[in-house]
Amino acid sequence: MRDLCTLILLIASPAWAVTNKLYSELQYQSLQTKPVLAGATASADVQKTSQMIEYRAEGLAEIINLNVASIVSQPDYSTYKIRGRDGHEQALTEVDPNTPKSEVAVRVGAVASHDTHMLSSRYTQTVTDTPFANRKVELKLEESLLEKTTTFGAEFSMGQRQQPQSYFINRDLVTRSRPREINATQYGLFYEQVLTNRWKAMLKTDLETQPEERPRNYGVSMRHSYAITKRIFAHAGVGHRFEDHEDSLKNERGYFSLWRYDVGLIFEPIYDFYIKPSYGLMVEKEDEPRAGQVTTIGSDHAGLILAYNFGDFEIEASGQASFSEAGSSSSYSGSLLWNF
């Protein structure tokens, strides 16, 4: 009760110093080959360029940070294939020549923190006409203990994505329609622990449901971060995700599971200049009990981030590439943060 009264008094107080920040990012994404378990609100598998401008106000009432962003994208839907009722595949732009060439989304977020408590929220929604309109709300709660060496937290997200009319042939050789609207709900818990003055670990578990398209799936991951020196930091992680075989299959695909492994470094060769290389390996397996088949595909993921802090300005350039038997994908971005 005392903490709640303190929060109310701080918000009501008119004396605070607000830090204003303007963030801009330009990103190019090639044809993506994301895993099936990427989530219902993940973007479509298309090549696109996007620009984001975000305004951040930090220190409102001393405890609140706000941010508002606009994301403009130019997707190339000529590479996105949909199947008609007759089984014939066509590009989305051939089926609908009026498919928009530009999309706009808005994102609003807020973070309130005081002492050992933190609550954050974010809402994202497409505001223009597009065959892949989506919206998503995210909430996160953290509580720190023992002088902030131990942190417990909970996460919740709920999203919805639309997609064009398309059909598939099920294992019973019957043509069925895919859902036009996919809903996803995710619940997560995490635990962070500072083990030494150099070593920190995190454990996370979550449950996701996509009732229109996929069986329930569960995830668990662990990550360790270690300060090798004052200028070199390393991190490594492992994660596993799997679908519930007790839940019925919704389409022609079987049950999926995947393992992720990743390592990375953060190197500061000179003051405020950071080099961040990373590498990851993902193994995805599809178990199709109706056909008695199991298919396994591995993929490699490499990334590099370069960042420099000029004081009032921060710049960052990043690149990421993925390679597998199913194909390759890449993305590149550059960003600028202005503190004013």
Task: Encode 135-200 in three state secondary structure.
Answer: EEEEEEEEEEECCCCEEEEEEEEEEEEECCCCEEECCCCCEEECCCEEEEEEEEEEEEEECCCCEE
* pLDDT at residue 15 is higher than 70: no
Q: What pLDDT, in 10s, does the model give residues 160-171?
A: 999 999 998 887
Q: Could you give the angle at the alpha carbon of 157 between the alpha carbons of 81 and 6, nearest 5°?
A: 150
Residue 118 token pair: 């933190």
Question: Mean pLDDT across the stretch 156-161?
Answer: 96
Q: How confident is the model at residue 1 (pLDDT cuts 50, 70, 90)?
A: very low
Looking at every residue in the chain, the average pLDDT score rounds to 89
Q: For residues 312 and 339, what is the distance between their CA atoms, to the nearest angstrom? A: 5
**Comparing 81-95, 172-186, 236-250, which segment has the lowest mean pLDDT?**
81-95
Say which residue, 140 or 176, is predicted with more confidence.
140
pLDDT of the residue at 300: 94
Task: Tell me the whole-structure pTM to 2 decimals.
Answer: 0.87
What domains can you pick out in the chain, each with its CATH number? 2-339 (2.40.160.40)
What are the tens digits of pLDDT across the range 259-303?
999 999 999 999 999 999 999 999 999 999 988 899 999 999 999
pLDDT at 159: 96
What local confidence, expressed as pLDDT, does residue 86 receive? 85
- Residue 155's pLDDT is 98
